[in-house]
């Protein structure tokens, strides 16, 4: 009977389960701090008319790329062309008056030199010449102004860029006093991403204020941009400026990062997230799935020399990538941490058959191919 009982106990004893583990080794950790950002073109120029009149022609369409000097709108030119013609006529009349006054002044001067007329008589004709010359200068200035106003009837692009919304079309009245611009030209060859850093972030950047902000900016690594749909913009950017004033209402400073936009993919008004890398050498990184919580404290199962699990408390950095944790205390190099069956299979003091997690993942990938 004793022999039969021993055989039954041996049959009932289950073998140790095979579970994946990772061996903790110090490595370089690169995590990202993310900040909501709004994108603006390098220049966003509101296009406003400099003369009043009805729009007779819209030469571009919304979203069209334009070059500097390219016509955008034409304003009714009739009254401004009439003003140019009138000013030109005034100039011609003033030139004739100057020519007549010069003849009279020259004749008077010759008569005066021969003592035929008095000096006063000659001075009167000379003053008349000067007055005619002044009137000619006024007429020429008026002509220049009329021509300038005439040129303003063709509204051109002040820079290369992309045309924004066009609220006013043919027949609409354009006026310099209008609150709404004709359109906006955005130079999006380079894009500015505006976001905010807290006072704490600024102190961390400057090592508690011991390093000049300009030096901290220079030492900042390249940043990345996550777009509204979660994809990553393929071109890295650089933090260019930080406002010198902290907003009392928000406790943050405005920051501007610059991104090249060779394909024109980014547009003014886009939103996204600026991701600033935070690198740490000799960091201990473990998968988040290897941890569990008890009363808001995090734990892992570490294997001892007998391959039995030991419940071990750990502390982690608040910053993480959603998949891994950087452990600040509780683990050391060489520790074996269970990464499989947490919360379901694994219990404290349980003996397991450890399987290297990296090797298992490599094998699974090879089988999938």
Tell me the per-residue pLDDT of 301-311, one tens digit each, with 9 for 90 and over: 999 999 999 99
Most distant CA pair in the chain, distance = 165
The Cα 83–Cα 81 span in angstroms is 5
DSSP string covering 73-120, please?
EEE--HHHHHHHHHHHHHHHHHHHHHHHHHHHHHHHHHHHHTTSS-HH
The answer to whether residues 186 and 44 touch, using CB atoms and an 8 Å cutoff, is: yes
Nearest to 279 by CA among 220, 357, 328: 220
Question: How confident is the model at residue 280, as a pLDDT?
Answer: 82
Q: Residue 264 and residue 356: Cα distance in Å, rounded?
A: 47
Which tens digit of pLDDT belongs to each residue from 284-321? 999 999 999 998 899 999 999 999 999 999 999 888 87
Mean pLDDT by 10 residues, the chain (369 residues): 50 74 88 89 89 95 92 95 96 94 91 87 90 95 95 93 91 92 89 89 80 83 90 91 82 90 86 88 89 91 93 89 88 92 90 84 68
With contact defined as beta carbons under 8 Å apart, do 76 and 54 qualify? yes
Please tell me the pTM assigned to this model.
0.63
Q: How are strands ordered across the β-sheet holding 154-156?
A: 154-156, 71-75, 53-58, 173-174
Confidence (pLDDT) at 364:
67
Nearest residue to 74 via CA among 53, 48, 55:
55
């Amino acid at each position: 009977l004793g022999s039969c009982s021993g055989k039954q106990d041996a049959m009932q004893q289950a073998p140790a389960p095979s579970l994946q583990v990772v061996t903790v080794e110090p490595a370089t950790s690169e995590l990202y701090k993310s900040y909501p950002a709004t994108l603006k073109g390098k220049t966003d120029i509101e296009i406003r008319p400099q003369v009043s009149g009805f729009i007779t022609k819209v030469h571009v369409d919304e979203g069209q790329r334009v070059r500097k000097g390219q016509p955008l709108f034409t304003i009714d030119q009739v009254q401004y062309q009439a003003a140019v013609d009138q000013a030109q006529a005034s100039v011609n009349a003033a030139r004739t008056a100057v020519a007549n006054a010069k003849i009279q002044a020259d004749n008077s001067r010759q008569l005066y030199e021969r003592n035929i007329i008095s000096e006063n008589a000659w001075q009167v004709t000379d003053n008349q010449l000067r007055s005619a010359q002044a009137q000619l200068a006024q007429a020429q200035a008026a002509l220049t102004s009329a021509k300038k106003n005439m040129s303003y009837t063709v509204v051109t692009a002040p820079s290369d860029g992309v045309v924004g919304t066009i609220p006013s079309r043919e027949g609409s009245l354009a006026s310099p006093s209008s609150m709404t611009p004709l359109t906006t030209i955005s130079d999006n060859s380079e894009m500015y991403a505006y976001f905010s850093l807290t006072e704490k972030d600024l102190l961390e950047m400057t090592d508690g204020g011991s390093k000049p902000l300009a030096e901290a900016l220079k030492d900042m690594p390249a940043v990345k941009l996550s777009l509204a749909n979660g994809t990553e913009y393929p071109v890295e950017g650089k933090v260019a400026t930080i406002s010198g004033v902290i907003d009392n209402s928000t406790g943050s400073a405005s920051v501007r990062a610059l991104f090249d936009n060779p394909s024109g993919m980014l547009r003014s008004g886009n939103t996204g997230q600026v991701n600033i890398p935070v690198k740490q050498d000799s960091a201990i990184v473990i998968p988040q799935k290897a941890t569990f919580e008890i009363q808001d404290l995090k734990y892992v199962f570490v294997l001892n020399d007998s391959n039995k699990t030991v419940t071990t408390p750990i502390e982690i950095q608040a910053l993480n990538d959603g998949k891994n944790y950087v452990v600040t205390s509780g683990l050391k190099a060489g520790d074996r941490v269970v990464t499989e069956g947490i919360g379901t299979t694994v219990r404290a003091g349980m003996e397991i058959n450890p399987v290297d997690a990296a090797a298992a993942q490599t094998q699974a990938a090879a089988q999938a191919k």
